[in-house]
Amino acid sequence: MKIIQASKNGSEDWHYLQGKEQLKNPLVLVFGNRYLLEDEAVLKNIREEFSYEHLVFGSTSGEIMNGNVLDNSISVTAIELEKSTFIIERENISNFDLQPNLLGEALLSKLPKESLKHLFVISEGLLDGSKLIEGIENNLSNAIALTGGLCGDDARFEKTLSSYKENPKPGEVILIGLYGEALEVTYASAGGWFPFGPERKITKSKDNIVFEIDDKPALELYKNHLAHRASGLPSASLSFPLNVTYEGKQQPVVRAVLGMDESQNTLILAGDAPENSKVQLMMASIDAIIDGAQHATELAMKNREKKADIAILVSCIGRKLVMNQRVGEETEYIKETLDASTATTGFYSYGQIAPFNGNDYTNLHNQTMTVTLISE
C-alpha cells in the first residue's frame, strides 16, 4: 500500500507529509470545511493537484491528519492498493423519498459480494444514520463489517456535503467496498461519556424524532434537566447527549441531539430511539474522552497479524466542543499508540459508524472515537 497525504489552509500551498508522488489509480479521500468544498476555485485546485478518477469528498467538523486536528482546511489522503481493489458506489437521499434504509439497500445491491472484505461509508450528515445502516446491513453477510461516519458542518448543522467524482453536494451517501484476501481490516469504537440523572422511558417517538419522555414533552423535559445550561441551546446539546437502551437489549447507544422543534416540543436525534427505550442524560470529562480514544485504538490493534498501513479516525463534534483547546490530545494519543509508520486521516463528524466491540452488527454511535485500521 502506498499513501500520499497533503493539506492546505485557504490560499496557502499544499503541505505534503510523504513527498509528492504520482500513484496508480488510488482511492482519494478529501475531507474539508463545508465552505471550502462549496468554493469552485478550491475544488478546481484540488482536482489539478490530485488529477485522479476516484475522488471521494466529505465535509467535516474538523479534519484529522498525522495525529493533528485541523480546522478550515482541506486534507487529502491518496491510497494506492497494491494487492487489493476497491469499488465505490453513490446514491442521493432525495431519490428515495428521504428514506435512508431504502438508499442503503440500493447502495449495497450495486456492489459485488465476491471477495468483499470491508465496507466504509461517508454519508450525508443530517439523516437518520441508524436507518441507513439498517438498509446496508439488510442483505449483508455477518462476516463483512461496516465502518465510517456522517459528514459534518462544524457546529452549524445547516447542511453537509459529500460526493464521489462529482463536486460535493447535500444528500449524497458514498459506499466504498474493499476487496481482496490480502486485506486486514480491524476496528473499534469507544467513548468516555457516562450517564447521570434519573433514567426515564421514551413513551412516544418515530424513527429519530422523540416526542415524549415519561409522557411529557421531550424538549421541555430535556431543557428542565439542563437547568441553567439550557440557555446555551441548541449548541449546548452537543455536550449533553442521550444514553439510549433499546427494549430487550443490554448494550446502550449514545444519541446526539442534532436539532429540536420548538413548535412540536420534540428532540431530533442522530439515530433512531424506539418507544419504550430507556433514556438518560450523559456528560464527560476531558481526560475520560482522551482515555476513550486510546482505548478504541488499543481494541482495534488487538490480535492484528500486521501493523496497520493507515488508520481512518472518525470522532464526534461533541467531543471536539467539550475538549476545546485540548482537542488535539485524543488524536495525538492515538498516533503515539499506533506504529510510527501508520498514516492517520479522518474527520470530526455528526455520527460514527462501527460495530459494537465484540459484535458483528453495526450501530450508529455519537460522542465516540471510531478507529478503522487497514493493511495489505
Q: What's residue 358's pLDDT?
A: 59
128 and 39 together in one domain: yes
Question: Which structural domain range is residue 165 located in?
Answer: 2-189+287-375
Give the separation between CA 219 and CA 210, rounded to whole angstroms: 8
Cα-Cα end-to-end distance for the chain? 6
Question: What pLDDT score was predicted for residue 283?
Answer: 85
CA distances 48 to 43, 44, 181, 206, Å, are 9, 6, 34, 46
Say if residue 258 is in the same domain as residue 299.
no
Let me know whether 266 and 292 are in one domain: no
What was the pLDDT predicted at 246? 86
Phi, psi of 259 (to 5 degrees): -170, 175
Instruction: Say yes or no: 301 and 271 in one domain.
Output: no
Length of the chain: 376
128 and 200 share one domain: no
Q: CA–CA separation, 125 vs 150, rounded Å?
A: 4
Residue 233 confidence (pLDDT): 77
How many distinct structural domains can be found in the chain? Answer: 2
Please report where in the chains the cell 497479524 appears, as a residue. Answer: 305
Domain boundary among 264, 282, 300: 282
Contacts of 373 (CB under 8 A, 6+ apart): 184, 185, 186, 187, 300, 301, 304, 308, 310, 311, 338, 342
Same domain, 6 and 97: yes
| Cα 64 from Cα 309, distance rounded (Å) | 16
pLDDT of residue 250: 67
What does the block give as the cell for 240? 449533553
Residues 63, 125, single domain; the answer is yes
Q: Please compute, for residue 208, the number of CA atoms within 13 A of its CA located in the half-sphere on the CB side.
A: 22
Instruction: Provide φ and ψ at 47, rounded to 5°.
Output: -70, -30
What's the per-residue H, E or C state across 229-252?
HHHHCCHHHHHCCEEEECCCCCCC
Q: Based on the domain organization, do 209 and 131 belong to the same domain?
A: no
Strand, helix or coil at 11? Answer: coil
Q: Could you give the residue ranges of the DSSP H alpha helices within 114-268?
A: 129-137, 218-226
Cα distance between residue 369 and residue 376, in whole Å: 23
Residue 235 half-sphere exposure toward CB, CA atoms < 13 A: 9
8 Å CB contact between 124 and 97: no
Written as tens digits, the pLDDT of the chain (376 aa) is 999 999 999 778 999 998 899 999 999 999 999 999 999 999 999 999 999 999 999 999 999 999 999 999 999 999 999 999 999 999 999 999 999 999 999 999 999 999 999 999 999 999 999 999 999 999 888 789 999 999 999 989 899 999 999 999 999 999 999 999 999 999 999 988 888 889 999 999 999 999 999 999 999 999 998 887 777 776 777 788 899 998 877 678 888 888 889 999 999 988 889 999 999 998 888 999 999 999 999 999 998 999 999 999 999 998 998 899 999 999 999 999 999 999 999 999 999 999 877 566 788 888 899 999 999 9
Q: What is the largest CA-CA distance in the chain?
A: 61
Assess whether 216 and 242 both reside in one domain. yes
CA distances from 224 to 214, 217, 322 (A): 13, 11, 21
